[in-house]
Amino acid sequence: MTGYVGPIERTTEKNHHFRNVLFTGQYLQLVVMCLQPEEEIGNEVHPDVDQFFRIERGKAKFIFNGEEEHLVGAGDAVVVPAGTHHNVINASATKHVRLYTIYSPPQHAAGTVHKTKAEAEADEHH
């Protein structure tokens, strides 16, 4: 495929996997994600990667550098500059958070699908 063309909002809202890579280019990657109630991505930092997030459904708490917190919801966007420690936490005890993210440059193998966070963590350890 040359690029990505599709209904990103609908694709994001229908995604039930923790991570699903939709497109991988030389300089960026498009990924849809679903966080279970109270699930978090986990504290991470990408020294050479800028990351864009768009929340399509639910409420999420973004924590930057362990102290700066932002509660965001459907329709909100967040940009995490390279070198920023960050975590994304589903702020609901009962509802899913559905979002898409753009990594620049790509961070995952093209076509990666992790059905659960545990599956994603196991893959990262290999």
Cα separation of 83 and 106, whole Å? 15
Four-CA torsion 93, 32, 48, 60, nearest 10 degrees: -20
pLDDT confidence bin for 126, thresholds 50/70/90: low
Q: Which residues contact 68 (CB under 8 A, 6 or more apart)?
A: none
Average pLDDT, the chain: 93
Query: Is 101 strand, coil or helix?
Result: strand
1 pLDDT band, cuts 50/70/90, is: low
Q: Would you say 80 and 104 are in contact if contact means Cβ atoms under 8 Å apart?
A: no
Query: What's the CATH superfamily of 8-124?
Result: Jelly Rolls (2.60.120.10)
Task: List the structure tokens of 36.
Answer: 């279970």
pLDDT in tens, 39-90: 999 999 999 999 999 999 999 999 999 999 999 999 999 999 999 999 999 9
